[in-house]
Amino acid sequence: MNPVAIVGGGITGLCAAFRLRQQNIPVTLYEEAGRVGGPIRTICENGFMAEYGPNTILETSPKIAALITDLGLDPRRRDSDPAANKNYIVRNGRMHPLPVSAGAFAATPLFSIAGKLRIAAEPFIRKPPGSEDESLAEFVVRRLGREFLDYAINPFVSGIYAGDPAALSVRHAFPKLHKVEAQYGSLILGQFLGARERKKRAEVAAPQAKKVSFDDGLQVLTDTLHTQLGDSVKLRSSVLSVEKNAGGWTVAVLANGREERRNHSAVLFTAPAHKLASLRIADAEPVSLAVLGEIKHPSVARIVLGFRKEDVADPLDGFGFLVPELERLSILGTTFSSSIFANRAPQGHVTLTSFIGGCRNPELANRQPEELFDRAVQDLKRVLGVRGQPIYRHHVVFPWAIPQYNVGYGKFMDLMTGIEARHPGLFFAGNYRNGISVGNSIVAGQEVASRVATFCSSETWDRAEVRV
């Protein structure tokens, strides 16, 4: 049996490879970099722990916990401190906790009385006819009003998605919202009525999901997957082309300065969309991935700062804060990293992780590190009462940070679905198709592994099998 080729060694590809290996299906994972994990990387310096990429995994699916268990990582798993569950929104320079109950909503100064009345009227708003691809901003204003867009959705989308609610598609970026309105006619009613359906699927809504990491950071997960896969992972190996042959697919790989051609039974693409855009695929019917290069990816800078605890006036009793665009701060939001998990800062110190850029200010992310440090510190002084300068600093820029599921994204989805249907043995999975969060990618890797395994055991596989 020829191995399945997996193009890309991020979390999706690693999870897919692990699950396929568990089913005795050989795999070869090609990663052009010198390490696996993509943006998942943990930096430990001077007692501070800085996550290069994402801070946590939201455990929204039982498949995430199952993976951790199967990897033997339960003893190293760390759930977030329950005291760090509060999320804050900045309004008029002050943090306000995002209300999570009817009583808290009624009392919060985050929204005006008029805004609260407009939100309360949501169950009585009728959904419009038709199935047009509506932007998130249009959807929220229609259902919940402008103030909710400005002081809840705008900061959430900018801080989590690095996106623009006026551009993002509800149907594709927030499919659950789109489905709730279609099924229940109301988001508020759907929150209650949909609970039973989520329970049947053993899923948890994101706000209630556990936030998970590991004793030495998220890189523990990707390092463990790499160890489990062993020699199946080929680092510094760039896939140049994929070509159909009589019994499967021939993959051309540039490794150690030399091009090699290897036969595979199937090919799973999990590399970033902008990387796949230049990949050559040859079959009887032409296949082009060039359109994937049109997917927007704004630049985002990640700034990790360490302070003496006595130099931060705020108690940091939460997960962090998000910043509405109307507040005109440089940062999109800040995570209280050392409040969420233990051992993220030396005794008597705190770690704060801030984000700059995104669709709100894409050019700002590419400024010099010193300017970004200064901007972050000034904003933290205003919001958190920070005094003095940080004693630890870490900076990284992601030029292609997060794929934006903007209005019209359906053409990319249709392209991938069409290629899979017309060219059996080619598969796509990753944050450009299955959702942007780490949890989405973990689930996507395991689910696509099931699809690949089914293909490998089908009659199609029997006809395609070639031994070399």
SS3 category, 349: strand
Q: Please, are residues 336 and 95 in contact by the beta-carbon 8 Å criterion?
A: no
Measure the CA dihedral 115/121/127/128, to 10°.
-60
* Residue 435 Rama label (left phi>0; alpha psi -120 to 50; beta): left
Q: Which two tokens stand for residue 51?
A: 């996550």
Same domain, 156 and 228: no
Of 371, 398, 425, the domain-final residue: 398
- Phi and psi of 37, rounded to 5°? 105, -15
Of 380, 398, 416, the domain-final residue: 398
Same domain, 228 and 288: yes
Q: Please, are residues 53 and 75 in contact by the beta-carbon 8 Å criterion?
A: no
Residue 283 Cα distances to 238, 242, 248, 424, angstroms: 20, 9, 11, 11
Alpha-carbon distance of 344 to 214, in angstroms, equals 11
Query: Is position 211 within any domain?
Result: no
* Amino acid code (one letter) for 120: A
Same domain, 175 and 106: yes
Query: Is position 90 within any domain?
Result: no
The DSSP code for 157 is I
Same domain, 359 and 308: yes
Query: Is position 196 within any domain?
Result: yes
CATH number of the domain encompassing residue 237: 3.50.50.60
- 365's CB contacts (< 8 A; 6+ apart) are 298, 299, 300, 301, 356, 357, 358, 372, 397, 398
- Note the pLDDT tens digit of each residue in 206-221: 777 899 999 999 999 9
Alpha-carbon distance of 100 to 206, in angstroms, equals 13
Alpha-carbon distance of 291 to 165, in angstroms, equals 23
Alpha-carbon distance of 36 to 334, in angstroms, equals 27
Same domain, 147 and 178: yes
Same domain, 178 and 118: yes
Query: Is position 213 within any domain?
Result: no
SS3 category, 70: helix
Q: What pLDDT, on the 0 to 100 scale, is given for residue 100? A: 87
List per-residue pLDDT tens for the chain, 468 residues long: 899 999 999 999 999 999 999 999 999 999 999 999 999 999 999 999 999 999 999 999 999 999 999 999 999 999 999 988 899 999 999 999 999 888 999 999 999 999 999 999 999 998 777 667 899 999 999 999 999 999 999 999 999 899 999 999 999 999 988 889 888 888 988 887 776 676 666 667 777 789 999 999 999 999 999 999 999 999 999 999 999 998 899 999 999 889 999 999 999 999 999 999 999 999 988 899 999 999 999 999 999 999 999 999 999 999 999 999 999 999 999 999 999 999 999 999 999 999 999 999 999 999 999 999 999 999 999 999 999 899 999 999 999 999 999 999 999 999 999 999 999 999 999 999 999 999 999 999 999 999 999 999 884 445 444 332
Query: Is position 34 within any domain?
Result: yes
Query: Is position 250 within any domain?
Result: yes
Number of domains in the chain: 3
C-alpha angle 105/88/407, rounded to 5°?
A: 90
- Note the pLDDT tens digit of each residue in 140-165: 999 999 999 999 999 999 998 999 99
Domain extent for 178: 100-203
Alpha-carbon distance of 42 to 5, in angstroms, equals 27
DSSP per-residue string spanning 198-255: HHHTT---GGGSEEEEETT-THHHHHHHHHHHGGGEESSEEEEEEEEETTEEEEEEEE
Same domain, 349 and 271: no
Of 175, 203, 231, the domain-final residue: 203
Q: Please, are residues 298 and 397 in contact by the beta-carbon 8 Å criterion?
A: no
**Residue 350, strand partner residues:** 307
Alpha-carbon distance of 378 to 356, in angstroms, equals 13
Same domain, 126 and 176: yes
Distance of CA 83 to the CA centre of its chain: 24
CATH number of the domain encompassing residue 367: 3.90.660.20
- Does the reported pTM lie above 0.85? yes
Same domain, 287 and 239: yes
Maximum CA extent, the chain: 72
Same domain, 304 and 253: no
Q: What pLDDT, on the 0 to 100 scale, is given for residue 208? A: 77
CATH number of the domain encompassing residue 116: 1.10.3110.10
Radius of gyration of the chain, Cα coordinates, nearest whole angstrom: 23
Residue 161 Cα distances to 11, 123, 199, 402, angstroms: 18, 27, 26, 7
Same domain, 136 and 284: no
Query: Is position 210 within any domain?
Result: no
Same domain, 306 and 394: yes
Residue tagged 């053993």 (tokens): 202
- 265's CB contacts (< 8 A; 6+ apart) are 1, 2, 3, 4, 247, 248, 249, 425, 456, 461, 464, 465, 466
Query: Is position 91 within any domain?
Result: no
The neighbour count for residue 276, using CB atoms within 10 Å, is: 23
Run of H or E residues at 251 = strand 248-255
